[in-house]
Structure formats: structure tokens, C-alpha cells
A and B are shown apart, each in its own frame.
Chain A
Amino acid sequence: MEPLGLSELANNIGVGLSTAASANNLLYAFLGVTLGMFFGALPGIGALLSMSLLFPITFYLQPVEAIIMLAGIYYGCSYGGSIASILLNLPGEPSSAITCIDGYPMSKQGRAGIALFMTTIASFLGASVGIVAMMLFSPVIANFALHFASAEYFALMVMGLVAASTISTTSPLKCLAMVVLGVSLGTVGTDVNTGVVRFTLGMAELWEGFSLVAMAIGMFGVSEVIASVKTGGANKIEAKSITLRSLIPAQDDVRRSWFPMLRGAGIGSFVGAVPGVGGTTASILSYVVELRVAKKPERFGKGAIEGVTAPEAANNAAAQTAFIPTMTLGVPGSVTMALILGVLMIHGITPGPRLVSESPELFWGVIMSFWIGNLMLLILNIPLIGLWVRLLTIPYHLLYPAILVFVSVGAYTVNNSVFDIWFVLFFGALGYLMRVFAFPLAPMLLGFVLGPLMEENLRRSLMLANGDFFALFHRPVSGTIMVLTLLLLIWVAIGMTRSRSVQVGDLST
């Protein structure tokens, strides 16, 4: 098969477009990106929370529709998050934090409109590059992975989890512990292979295990609300200062931004595909690169347009390529991808190389809908920018009861059972306690989603290798992956022996 298979690509694009352009899928793409923009713009609500809140709704949709909508929310949030960064110096999304550095000064100089406009263009460009990368490389990766056996999948999942724990600002030790905790919670319920019930402590409701929905909305919804009630405050900005005319950038701004945007998009595309790193890392990296490359680095931090457009391009590119490992290998690189994986699995679809070849309408339909969604965002952002800006003024004391209503109703509708609400309560309390003890929540969810799969793959590979654990290292692919994982762990261990201060943060890209 030719390396990039261009004629086959054209075929796939056709299949994808016909799926993505259907009336239903267009509607859900539109809903997804609009909600994503909405939640991304609102301070205090990010992609994780919005995806969790709308998770119950996706049960009533077809798998393609569910993915399109959730994905739309996800990358829509990247667009909306930069608004708060520029206007309020408060990131609407963790990955938009870098945009504050040069975006807020631009806003103070009266160039907020230009900043907003250019970030939209940069976001679109970044996303486009990311989607193209996805289109070109997914089939290649999927083809390669067709030869994977359980040993390779197990190794990949272990590496993904370790990478996610070690490449972050939070204490890697705590992240790893949370991953193990998540995997442990995944063992609760009926063991698929033997029918034996584990850890249910007599409760019949736990026979199917904990529900991912309850965990997601409890931990990221309820506990977030508890933590934010005191600190969420009303934000005042002059919404009137953003007119359509003020959006138009000077020619100098555009000229300066081309290469930074392209560089950012490239960096973001690469970084996003690696498990464990995502939009935040991509935007930081891109900013640093621009600093090094710039002829006059002193301009940065005072309103340099490159400091805004490059990270945003990187951020949005990473948001797109994050789908590559998730869809082609079935290994999510971050919590948000774990949610998408969870949705697919709940609908009975196992992402992986077989998905790409056996369900091209799903895979390519989703990719094509990314194009459509990003185009919609471009259109939504430019004329309606004043509307989104006004959203920023919604005070938190109105928002959080609304969030709680959505959480409770959503939990109830999953199975029409009150018991699910108790689950959400449990995870909400647990999530808040974990926050207070400074344990990161995201790795736990990652471990929970991957846990059952990991056990299955480990069991199978050990059975095939007759109990020889080191067989995992003998096989070429899984051996390489396991060695890489070990190197990561060693690198982290060395880092820990030097004195480091523990930072309290969250792994949430």
C-alpha cells in the first residue's frame, strides 16, 4: 500500500463528507460548537465540565452524533476560552492561560477587538493543520496498529497513563497514585471474563460497576462548584468597546502573524498527538519558541500579536490531533479524550485500528465534521463576538445553581433511577475531598476508563505467554513501548530526588 494512499484518502473524504453533511450531524455539530464556545467563554467552566454535563444527553443520540457533538464542545471551548484571557486576564480554559500574557495588554491598549479577531483566525488555522495531520497520519498509524496484539495494547495503555502522570506540573507521584486508584475503581463490579462480582460490598447497584457519567459529572461538576462558590465573582468589562470595525487588524499585525501561526500549528499538531501532553503544553512551547525566534523579544508580554496568535494556533491544533491516538489506537491521551472514549464504548464501539477500516463512515464522518465545525466557529466568532463578550458578565452565583440542576437532572435521566444521583453525590464529595488533599482528579478518570481494558489485555497477553511477564519486553513493539515507559519513570524518579516543591494544580487538557 502506498505510504499516504492519496486516492484512498479522496475516497474516504467522500464517505466522510456524506456522513458529516447529513442534516442531523450538521445540527449536532452546530449545537456542539455553539455550546463549546458558550462554555469556553464563561469563566469557571471548561471543556471537561461542559462535556461531562452534556454526557447524559449523548446517550439518546446515535454514536456519530454523540461524538460530533462532544468533540464540537471540546474544540469549541478552545475558541471561547481565549476571550476571557484577552479581556479579563482570566483564562476561560487552562490551555488559554498563555493567551493572557500578551492578550490582556493588547486589550488594555484598546486592541482587544484585533486580538479577538486574530485568535479566531489563528485557532482556525491551527485546527485546519491539525485536521490535515489527522487525515494523513491516522490511516498510516491504524494500518501499523492492525498487527498489534494484547501485549502491545497493554503496553500502550501503561505508557499513556504514565506519560499523562509524569509530563505535568502536578506531583507525578500523586498522579500515578490517582491513576492506580482510578484503575482500582474500575475493578468494582462484575468481572467480564468470569462473571465474579468484585468489591460491591453487597450492593446490587454496583454489579455493573461505577458509572462513568456519574463519576465525571460528580467529580468535575459538583466538586468544582463546591470549590468555586466562594471565589467566583462577577466580572465587569465594557462590552460596548467591541464593535465589528474594531476587529479589523492592521496590516502589520497580519504580516507578523503568518509564520508564528504556522509554527504554532506545527508544534501543536505534534504535541497534541502525544499521550499525556495537550493544548496547555503546546501553547507554552509555542510561546517559548516565538520568544526565541523573535527579532525583538522585548515586545513580548506587552501586547505582541505573535504572543497571542502562535499559542492559540498551537492550542487548537493540539485539540484536533489529540483524537489521533484515541481513535486509531484506542488510547486516550488526556481526560477529555477519555470521556470521548467512554462515550464510544458506552455505545458499543471500540476505537482502534479496526474502527478506521471497518467503520469508515464513523471515522471519516467525524473528521469531516471537524472541518464543518471549525468553519461554523469561524462564522460564529466574528460577527457575534459582542454576544460572547457579554456572556463573560454572567455572575457565578447565577451559574452554579444552574450547573447543579443540570448535574442532578442529567444523573437522573441516565437510567431513570434516583440511585445514580446518590452516585453523583458520592463522587462529588470524594472529588472535593481529593481537591482539598491536593490529589489531581483527571488521572483518576483516565485510569478508570482504561482500567478494564488494561486488565483484559494483560490477562490475555499473559495467557498467551504462559505467565511470563517479561514476554512483554521481548516482543519488538511492546518491548520498545515498555522501555520508553520505564525511562519516563526513571526520569521522574531522578527529578524527584532533587528537591522539588509540590505544585497544586490539575492535569486537565
Chain B
Amino acid sequence: MFYRNQDSRDVLGGALLGALGVFMVLYSAAYLTLGTFARMQPGMFPTILGYLLIGLGALIALRAALRLKCRTSRTRQDAEPFEWRPFIVVLMSIVTFALCITRFGLVPSIFVLTAVAALADRKLGVRGIIVLAAFMSGLIVLVFSYGLGVPLPLFRWPY
């Protein structure tokens, strides 16, 4: 899916956009009333947008496909690589934060977030994690709890 060639990616990207456009047109036709130009109902604008997406997506995909065909020399391999490790680690760190915040409170969540996030590039040691997490906790409490008066659960124990 993540071709090394940017043009191949463009073909896929354009196709995905077109598919989204098709979805919008069909959804509007099925669930929403279209109305007329003079009296636009909820379905009209999404339908217009859907057709625009189909058109633009098709244009993008076609141009890329043409570029692929016309290139006589070897294809470029210059597309930005999909960094799996940072992708998964960063998203997981946020997931763990979301799971912890209501159960354990803010401060433990920040520690867990920092710990998981540090796995992305392994430059931060255990001591660094603790110091950074403590610093961030302090900063957040200062800014949000004291500065803005936002109700934040600092520590909790659900059991």
C-alpha cells in the first residue's frame, strides 16, 4: 500500500478520495433529502461535494497513472517512507493516556504516556523519563489547575 514511488501512491490516494466522494453521494441519496437549488436541503451540499471529490480524485489518479506510464527511465523511489515504529508508539502512548486518565488520574497518565512515547526512539533513559514526566506534570498542574482553574483529577485509585 505504501509504494516507494510517489506516483503510485498518488494513484491510490486519488482513488481513495474518489471512493469517499462516491460514499458521500450515495449516503446523501439514501438518507438525506436533496431538495432543489432554490431550496437546498441537507443532502444537496454533500452531494455537490461528493461529485467534486470524485472528479478531483479521478484527476489526481489519472495524472499519476499517466506519469507512471510515460516515465521511460526507472521509476522514482523517493516517496516519504512510512515510519511504522513512531506511528505505532506515538498512537499507543496516547491510547494508554486515554485509558489511564479516568482510572488513575492525571499524574500517572503523564508518566505512562512519557514512558511509552520514549520507546519511539530510545534516546531517553529511565531517569530521563521520570524527570521529564515529573516536570511536565508540574507544568500542567501549574498551567491548567492553578492558572486556568480546570478541574483535573490528579491521582485516583479505582480499586
Contacts and interface: CB of A to CB of B under 8 A. Distances in A.
Interface of A: 57, 60, 171, 173-174, 176-177, 180-181, 183-184, 187, 191, 193-194, 196, 198-199, 222, 225-227, 229-230, 395, 397-398, 400-402, 404-409, 412-413, 416, 418, 421-422, 424-425, 428-429, 432, 435-439, 455, 458-459, 462-463, 465-469, 496, 502, 504
Given A401-B113, A422-B98, A425-B98, A196 B63 contact: no
Nearest to A422: B98
B54 to A, nearest CB: 10
Contact of B49 (A180, A398, A462, A468): A180
Identify the 8 closest CB pairs spanning chains A and B, nearest first: A467-B38, A467-B37, A397-B123, A177-B56, A229-B86, A437-B13, A421-B98, A401-B117
Contact of A437 (B9, B38, B49, B129): B9
Contacts of B46: 184, 187, 198-199
A229 B83 contact: yes
A425 B60 contact: no
Nearest to A424: B94
15 contacts: A181-B53, A193-B42, A198-B46, A222-B91, A229-B90, A398-B128, A401-B124, A402-B132, A404-B93, A428-B94, A432-B87, A463-B38, A466-B38, A502-B6, A504-B80
Contact of A177 (B40, B57, B106, B132): B57
Nearest to B56: A177
Given A401-B93, A455-B45, A463-B38, 4 more contacts: A397-B123, A404-B117, A408-B113, A424-B94
B42 A405 contact: no
Nearest to A496: B63
Interface residues of chain A: helix, strand, loop or mixed (majority): helix
Contact of A435 (B80, B97, B106): B80
Residue picked from B27, B91, B94, B132, most chain A C-beta under 10 Å: B94
Contacts, number: 183
Contacts of B39: 463, 467
Residue picked from A397, A429, A437, A496, most chain B C-beta under 10 Å: A437
Contact of B13 (A227, A406, A432, A438): A438
Residue picked from B41, B56, B79, most chain A C-beta under 10 Å: B56
Contacts of B91: 222, 226, 425, 428-429
B155 interface: no
Contact of B110 (A180, A225, A405, A435): A405
Contact of B24 (A184, A436, A458, A463): A184
A463 B14 CA distance: 34
Contacts of A194: 41-42
A60 B83 contact: no
Contacts of B12: 437
A173 B80 CA distance: 19
A427 B27 CA distance: 22
A467 B41 CA distance: 12
Contacts of A465: 38
B47 to A, nearest CB: 10
B30 to A, nearest CB: 12
A467 B36 CA distance: 7
A438 B6 contact: yes
User: Looking at chain B, what size class is its interface with the partner chain?
Assistant: 35 or more
Contact of B6 (A57, A459, A504): A504
Interface in B113-135: 113-114, 117-118, 120-121, 123-124, 128-129, 132-133
Nearest to B78: A504
Contact of B52 (A180, A187, A422): A180
B142 interface: no
Nearest to B31: A198
A347 B44 CA distance: 29
Nearest to B128: A398
Contacts of A437: 9-10, 12-13
Interface in B1-48: 2, 6, 9-10, 12-14, 17, 20, 24, 27, 32, 36-42, 45-46
A438 B80 contact: yes
Contact of B113 (A405, A468, A504): A405
Contacts of B121: 229-230, 397
B151 interface: yes
A439 B80 CA distance: 12
Contacts of A416: 151
A395 B39 CA distance: 57
B90 A173 contact: no
Contacts of B49: 180, 183-184, 187
Given A174-B60, A398-B132, A402-B136, A438 B36 contact: no
Contacts of B56: 173, 176-177, 180
B13 A400 contact: no
A176 B57 CA distance: 10
A225 B101 CA distance: 21
Contact of A408 (B83, B97, B118): B97
Contacts of B14: 177
B159 interface: no
A57 B46 CA distance: 33
B94 A196 contact: no
Nearest to B151: A416
Contact of A401 (B63, B79, B95, B118): B118
Nearest to A58: B148
A230 B53 contact: no
Given A196-B42, A413-B144, A438 B9 contact: yes
Contacts of A459: 40, 45
Nearest to B98: A421
Given A407-B94, A436-B82, A191 B123 contact: no
A395 B90 contact: no
A196 B32 contact: yes
